Structures are given as structure tokens and as C-alpha cells.
Structure 1
Amino acid sequence: MKLYQENNKVIIDKIKDFEPKHIFECGQCFRWDKEEDGSYTGVANGKILNVKLEGDTLILDNTNLDDYHKIWHNYFDMDRDYSAIKAELAKMDEHLYNATIFGQGMRILNQDTFEIVISFIISARNAIPMIKRSVAFLSKALGEEIGEYRGKKYYAFPTPKALSSCDEQVLIDSKVAFRKGYIRDASYIQHSLQMDMYKLRNLPTDMARKELMTIPGVGPKVSDCILLFGLSKYDVFPVDVWVQRVMHEFYIEKEMKDLKKIREFGIDMFKDKSGIAQQYLFYYAREKGIGRK
């Protein structure tokens, strides 16, 4: 793998295990959008980035080597050997073999904890396009303007202070519906440091989950998503409708409806790679329509 900079682009030749579609369309993030040329533009850590894969060459536009090493290397989880993880999972059975091939370029992003907490509170009983619209609206209304890229302005995710003290009409207009009180309360908890959500990564997973579930609007599934996508806890197994379907299709009796038991089954099966296995299975099931009647 060769890494170098050309003008305002960072280029990585011979990249492995990196497919933008698999990364940005697997339900883990809500601030990346596909461009007409097939690339993806998004905001993270107060920066605008465009990501494009050409063959086995990854082009990161609107950045430099300094920001790559400070921000993007960790954000894209570049130190993790996904080839080894896929090989280990693929040996388990044909379903995982197929799922890891189908989503071969997936990576778990290392995202901002507070942004993930709010984003997944919004995600409860919601569809991804609606979640993205709400997050974009709140960022434009309450976030700091970062800059412009390809003629479009981009905004940082709102701070805890901005979200906790904003006019209620902003939340109403963002279409977060019944979640608006949860968003304000969760934001105040972080702003006032009643709980420092960022420090939860230092706790064991079960303790971090218990803390998260004291936040209004955070239940078992949302807490597992926060643990995986916002706190780098991989021994979790978030269960939504697609994961429930794929588990019923491949691994457990359809009569088992208890989501907690399905989650425990997944963790027992996949151990410290549960979260990564879940993402391969989720993406495979959703894209293939597995278990849909």
C-alpha cells in the first residue's frame, strides 16, 4: 500500500478491504452522500471529505497528509486487519462466507460519540433517509459552517450546548417527532457533564451499556449501536428487523422473538467480533431482502 499527496488529494494505492458503498450505506453513518460520479462526500471531525475508489486506488479529496494521519486513518479504522476478520468469519459457515464476500469492503467507522448518541436516538423507529434529513437539518440550523465543496455548504454536527438550548421549533422543523425531548435531554446530560459520554469507552461493555441506557431515548438496540459505532465496542450485536430476519433465516427458530435472546445468541456465537459480524449480516440481509415476506 502506497500513500501520498497530490495537491489537495491523498491517494492510497493498492488499498484492501475498502469499498465506499459498503462503508457508507450499511447503516452506521448518516452524513455521507453519494455524488453523481459515484464518489461520496461527507463531514466528520469538522472536516469535509470526498471519497472515491478507482480500481484499487483510494482517492481522498479535500484533505492533506497531515489531516489523514490525524483524522482519517483512525476514522476509517485503517489499523484493523479486515482480511483476517473476514477469513475467520467465513470459516464459520456458508452464510457468513457469502455475507463477507458480499460486503467485502466494509469497515466500522470510528465516529464521534456524542454525534452517534444523538443520531441513533433519532434512528429509533425511523428510516435511514429520514434520519439523514433530520441530521442534515440540525447541522445546518445549529452547527458551525465548515466550508463549501463542489458548490455546496457543509456544517459541523451541533454541539451539546447548541442542541440542549435550541428553540423547540428547530427540533420540530427537523422532523425528529417524538424524539425531540430525548435529544434535548441527552444533549444537556453531555453539556452539563452529568455523564461524559466520551469516557464510556474506558468502561467494560456491560457497564457502558448500563450508563447509556440511563439516557432518555436510549434502549437496548440504540445502546448497542452507540457502543459499536461511537465507542468502539465490538462485543455487541445490535438487533433490528433485518438482523432478526437473517438470524431467523440462518441460525435460530422463527418462534424466538425475544430480541435480548437473539442478541445474546449472536454475542455467544461471534464473541469479540460480534459487532463486525452483525454489520456483514445486516448489510447482506437488507440488500438481498433476506427473510422479507
Structure 2
Amino acid sequence: MHRFTVIFEDGPVDMDRIARSGQMFRWRVVDGGWEILDGDHHFRVRSSGPASFEVEGNQPEEVFRRLFRLEVRHDETIERILAIGPELEPFCRDRVGLRLMRPHSRAETLFSFLCSANNHVSRITSMVWKLASYGGAGFPSVARIASVTEQELRETGFGYRGATIPRVAATLAGRGGEAFLDELASAGFSVARQELLALPGVGRKLADCICLFALDYGESVPIDTHIWQVMTRLYYPQWAGTSLTESRYETAAGDFRDRFGELAGAAHQFLFVDNMERYRDRKAPLSS
């Protein structure tokens, strides 16, 4: 067991906001802190000051620091984003504690986003925990998920995803499983994206989510209908009120990627969380 103190010297960190930001789905509040599970990695994190955290886990400090991308200063990332796109100021400044994470387990991240199709964070979280139960101490291997039947998953609330998940797992297992995902992470964004789009049930948004969070391609820009509404307001007023077609998706994602480069995914995450939190606020009951 490893124990260490981490001080975030590059700006505030909002663990609660990160936990709800739709990047990783096995975070939970434990004893006044947070438990983070990522494949076979686990950490318990407790705040010990404004930017200081006591961490206990089965991995050393450098692994934790990599998860939170501490090799890059978060405050400088925000400044670089705003230097390129000052129109994103209200999205970034109100959420400076949000961080773009770098999960360790490519497989867990991929299957988490397969659960995300037409879904919301709380239900995705429930599904990911159910998938994790097939893995014992860590998240199950690609081969293990391939052995789970569609009926099993449908009976536990996965719906049509119960058919997609084992099919994708079987396809990946036939190509090397986790090793194939590692290959995609070094193949280049365009190649990796095309390979993901060839998987059963994986469309543009899912492929881009997997590229960003599982394969660490910072230039990836996932766009759902809500992000599309924000983008039409900011960049494409001529398309306001129109549907997100494949052609418009590629145009919007490509333009954003061309403009922000390797920061596109981080910039996108601020837009995504802003929209998600505004929706949550709209759904919250009025106080008496």
C-alpha cells in the first residue's frame, strides 16, 4: 500500500465536480473523501488543505499524478485555451477546479462509454459498476466481458447495450484485447478513430469519447446534441435549430480541432460540464 501527500500547485481541484463530469464512472464518496477505481488501480483521497490531498492506494504517487495530468500545469492549460478562444471564458472561469483526467484502464474506459449511449451519468455509473462485478479485484478483461451473454446484461438493466457490449468485446478479443487498445493509443488519432468506428455500435461521438478518454488523444472532440446547441450559438448561427448530421458533426469537430489542437478535448470538457450542470440545475426541485 502506498501513502503520500499531493499538493496541486497549478490551481484548485474540485473532486466532486470531476467525479460527476462523465469522464470516469467508478468514483464514490467514502469516509469524507473519495475512492477512485480505475481498472485494477484504486486510490482513496482525502482533502487536507485548499489544494492538498492525502492519498492511499495500490499504486505509487507517479501513477496518481499521471491520472490527474500533473505533468502539465492546469492553470496554464486554461490560459492557453482562452488565448485561442476568449469566448470560452465563462465556461472555464466558473469551473477552474475541473480537470481533464487520464484513466489508466483503456478497456474500462471504452466499455464505460459503450454504456453511455443515450444515457445519463447516474445510470452509466450503475452499469459500469455492474460490469466491474465480473472482474473480481479489478475491472474484467476484454475476454471476460466477451464471455458475458446478452441475456445476462439485459436482465441487469443494460437494454440494447447488452447486445453491443459482448459483440465489441469479442471483436477486440479477436484482435488482441487490451494490447490492441494500446496499439490504437500509438497509431495516431485518425487511424484510431477509424478503427473504433468499425466496431459494432460505435458511432462518431462514442469513437471520439474513447479517443479522448481511453486513448489520450487530446485533439478529439465528442459532440452530442447538447454540445451541438452550444456550438451553433458560439460558432454556427446559420445552423441554429438544425439537427446534428454526420456532415455537420465532422465540420464542427474538425473546426474545433483545427483551432484548439491538442487542447480541443480539454476545451470541449468545459463546454460539456457547463451544459450538464445547467441541465441538472434546471431539473433540480425548487427550494421551499
TM bracket, shorter-chain basis: 0.7 to 0.9
Ranges in structure 1 where 5+ consecutive residues have no aligned partner: 1-6, 146-155
- Residue of structure 2 equivalent to 1:273: 263
Equivalent-residue separation in structure 2 for 1:96 and 1:242 (angstroms) = 16
Contact preservation (8 Å) 1:20, 1:52: no
Aligned residue number for residue 236 of structure 1: 220
Percent identical among aligned pairs is 23
Map of 2:7 onto structure 1: 13
Residue 238 of structure 1 and its aligned partner are, at CA, apart by 0.6
Which residue is equivalent to 2:203?
Answer: 219
Partner of 1:118 in structure 2? 111
Query: 2:24 is aligned with what amino acid?
Result: C
Secondary structure, aligned partner of 1:238 = coil
Aligned positions of 1:56-71 closer than 5 A:
56-63=50-57, 67-69=60-62, 71=63
Alignment of 1:71-150 (within 5 A): 71-111=63-103, 112-140=105-133, 142-145=134-137
Give the alignment's TM-score, normalised by structure 2. Answer: 0.85
- Please name the residue that 1:152 is paired with: none
Q: Quote the RMSD (CA, aligned, Å).
A: 2.5
Unaligned 5+ segments in structure 2 are 283-288
TM-score by length of 1: 0.84
Distance between the aligned counterparts of 1:74 and 1:14, measured in 2?
13
**Secondary structure in 2 aligned to 1:62?**
strand
Query: For this pair of structures, how many residues does the alignment match?
Result: 272
- Cα separation, partners in 2 of 1:93 and 1:8, compared to 1, 3 Å: closer
Inter-partner Cα distance in structure 2 for 1:202 and 1:93: 28
Letter in 2 for 1:120: F
Q: CA deviation at 1:168?
A: 3.6
Distance in 1 (CA, whole Å) between partners of 2:54 and 2:43 is: 7
Amino acid corresponding to residue 84 of structure 1 in structure 2: E
In structure 1, C-alpha distance between the alignment counterparts of 2:276 and 2:269, rounded to whole Å: 10
CA shift in 2, pair 1:169/1:58, >3 Å: farther
Contact 1:26/1:283, CA 8 A, preserved across alignment: yes
CA shift for structure 1 position 287 = 1.7
